[in-house]
Structure 1
Amino acid sequence: MDSLTWVIFDIMGTIAFAVSGAMVAIQRRMDIFGIIVLAALTAVGGGMVRDVLAGITPPVALCNITDFMLSIIIAIVVSLGYSFCPFSALNKNFWLVVYNMFDTVGLASFTITGMLTGLSQEAGNPYVLPVLLGVITAVGGGILRDLMAHRMPAVLYKDVYATAALFGAMISCGLQDYTDSITMSWICFVLVIGLRFSALYFGWHLFHPRANWHRR
């Protein structure tokens, strides 16, 4: 595993998910402590679950304070930014675009860190562990964020989200014998970003079973 590539995407994912976590906390009217907690939980939660499943103990986030410090700084910056430009009906679409942009970048970045962590283990099937760790890292923090905010996790019902991470990780792992880890990581990043934004733009959703009752 290329350590520099892992660190780059880890920092990108941490910043992006800290922003999305802070925005959700503000929308739920939490105070500054709650905003920091939700930002940090979103940013490092998925990675901690990934590390435990990969047998990396203690988790990286507990050994290196960089991710936590980034999350705290981002939470404070977002809170100050909201003070000057609060959410309103007039700028609702703008903030939604900002949220989706950061959330998607975090999704793609953490898919890569999880996938690279799985590939570095060299255990069992060369696809199952990297793909699953990629998806878990990508969506784990968001699930914890939504649960803490008393919301149904978006990954369970909204848009093409975890599917984008799954698709990007699977295709990229299939290329591991034909390219280096850096190229493979950027391919994954582009695939996840492209699929997620396409789903948002075109309104793609997964199948939702619905009963079709006919009254007589």
Structure 2
Amino acid sequence: MNIDLLIEIMNLIGDVAFAVSGAMTAIEKRMDIFGVCVLSIVTTVGGGMTRDVLLGILPPIALQDPLDIGVATVVACIVFIWAARKKHLDQSQSPITANMLNISDAIGLGIFTVIGINVAQSHLEDAHAFILIVVGVITGVGGGALRDVLSGSIPYIFKKHVYAMASAVGAIAYVVMDDLVGVAWATILCAILVIAIRLLAAYYRWNLPRIHEIEEEIGSNTEP
């Protein structure tokens, strides 16, 4: 399996997925078409640019090759037109937009987590597992975190249905599986793993413990 071709295909799929995620978030926040495009671009390239700066890849890959930004812009415009035709601009958190956001976000998270590790491996000699895992997670969640900050929301990574943890599990699995099944299969299987965890967490509403939930549970256990 040609790993370079695989990465290019997965990167394109990830671009589209995160672009949809950013565009749908902007539409829910009632932004104009410029805001939709900007949020789509930030979601698509934000994690990768953060990764590149940390790895010393300057200028970042997204600025060396306009493909990622171009794809994000085109997808943002398509989503904006679709939403306008379907009159979703006047509906907040409709089932369609919520499902699109969850699915596209999960796909982007899984793909960019493993792509981040691949980039780190190609630019760092003998990078140890910790660096690869951290870089993978940053690449996966970075764009979504910037999207949420710019749209005025608490980032998913701090509150929403096992988000960053899904990326971390996939990154760890990649590091473990790389030597066992090879880079190509590790890339595919671990991306699927992240996507599956993220979607299952959203469907079943899995969350990490939060203080108010712990306080409510303690209170209910102490009531007579």
Shared fold per TM-score greater than 0.5: yes
How far off its partner does 1:124 sit? Answer: 5.4
Corresponding letter in the other structure for 1:128 = F
- Report the TM-score when normalising by structure 1: 0.93
Corresponding letter in the other structure for 1:167 = V
More displaced stretch, 22-31 vs 206-215 = 206-215
Q: Give per-residue Cα distances to partners, 1:95-134, cap 9 Å, x unaligned.
A: 2111111110000110111011122234455211211111
How far off its partner does 1:89 sit? Answer: 6.2
Matches within 5 A, 1:13-162: 13-87=14-88, 92-123=94-125, 125-162=127-164
Q: Is the 8 A contact 1:117 1:130 kept in 2?
A: no
Task: Percent identity, please.
Answer: 36
Q: Is the 8 A contact 2:162 2:207 kept in 1?
A: yes
Return the alpha-carbon distance in structure 2 between the equivalents of residues 80 and 130 of structure 1.
39
Mark the runs of 5 or more structure 2 residues left unpaired by the alignment: none
Tell me what 2:8 maps to: 7
Return the alpha-carbon distance in structure 2 between the equivalents of residues 132 and 49 of structure 1.
12
Secondary structure, in 3 states, of the residue corresponding to 2:181?
coil
Return the alpha-carbon distance in structure 2 between the equivalents of residues 34 and 177 of structure 1.
43
Return the alpha-carbon distance in structure 2 between the equivalents of residues 124 and 203 of structure 1.
39
Q: Say whether residues 1:173 and 2:178 are aligned partners.
A: no
Q: Is the 8 A contact 2:149 2:155 kept in 1?
A: yes
Structure with the higher helix share, 1 or 2: 2
- Report the TM-score when normalising by structure 2: 0.89
How far off its partner does 1:172 sit? Answer: 1.4
